């Protein structure tokens, strides 16, 4: 009998903590400051200049374009379970077709895999173990996370 499992709470907790730390770090820059924290002093009144092409709203939209997904993503898979992983399957999120991306992987071991990301880099993962159990995680962004920790 195969039992369905999801990513454990500690993994979700780590992901949420990382987002909070990143948000707090970004919020600590003072308004009008550059990335190094230097605050720009207001200049004396200057005559109005023509806006540069980069200052127009259309140019701002062009710059805000989402960066393209990398050709290959390096992901570290760590089996922290007491049972060996027989196969780790991945499918582009929402796709029924999955491919084996890792396995077998002994308990307590880790490996590095290279995957080609899809359009938005979201994957549905399924781990199959030697004791007949399985783990399922849907919608994992491997371009952002770059780690898969398999836990009990």
Q: What is the DSSP string of 101-112?
A: EE--B-TT-EEE
Instruction: Give the domain range for residue 121.
Output: 78-150
Residue 54 located in a structural domain = no
Residue 46 located in a structural domain = no
Residue 7 located in a structural domain = no
CA distances from residue 86 to 44, 45, 64 in whole angstroms, order as listed = 69, 69, 42
- Reported as a single tens digit per residue, the pLDDT across 71-111 is 888 999 999 999 999 999 999 988 889 999 998 999 999 99
| Least confident range of 4-13, 40-49, 133-142 | 40-49
End-to-end C-alpha distance for the chain, whole angstroms:
17
What whole-number distance in Å separates Cα of residue 99 and Cα of residue 104? 14
- Reported as a single tens digit per residue, the pLDDT across 29-79 is 545 555 555 555 445 555 555 555 555 566 555 555 655 656 888 999 999
pTM metric for this prediction: 0.54
């Amino acid at each position: 009998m195969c039992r369905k499992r999801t990513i454990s709470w500690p993994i979700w907790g780590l992901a949420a903590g990382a987002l909070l730390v990143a948000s707090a770090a970004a919020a600590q820059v003072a308004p009008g400051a550059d990335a190094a924290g230097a605050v720009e002093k207001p200049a004396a009144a200057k005559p109005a200049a023509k806006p540069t092409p980069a200052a127009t709203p259309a140019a701002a939209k062009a710059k805000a374009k989402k960066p393209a997904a990398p050709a290959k993503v390096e992901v570290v898979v760590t089996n922290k379970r007491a049972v060996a992983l027989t196969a780790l399957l991945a499918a582009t999120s929402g796709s029924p077709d999955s491919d084996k991306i890792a396995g077998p992987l002994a308990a307590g071991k880790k490996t590095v895999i290279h995957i080609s990301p899809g359009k938005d880099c979201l994957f549905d993962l399924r781990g199959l173990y030697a004791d007949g159990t399985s783990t399922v995680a849907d919608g994992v962004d491997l371009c952002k996370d770059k780690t898969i920790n398999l836990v009990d």
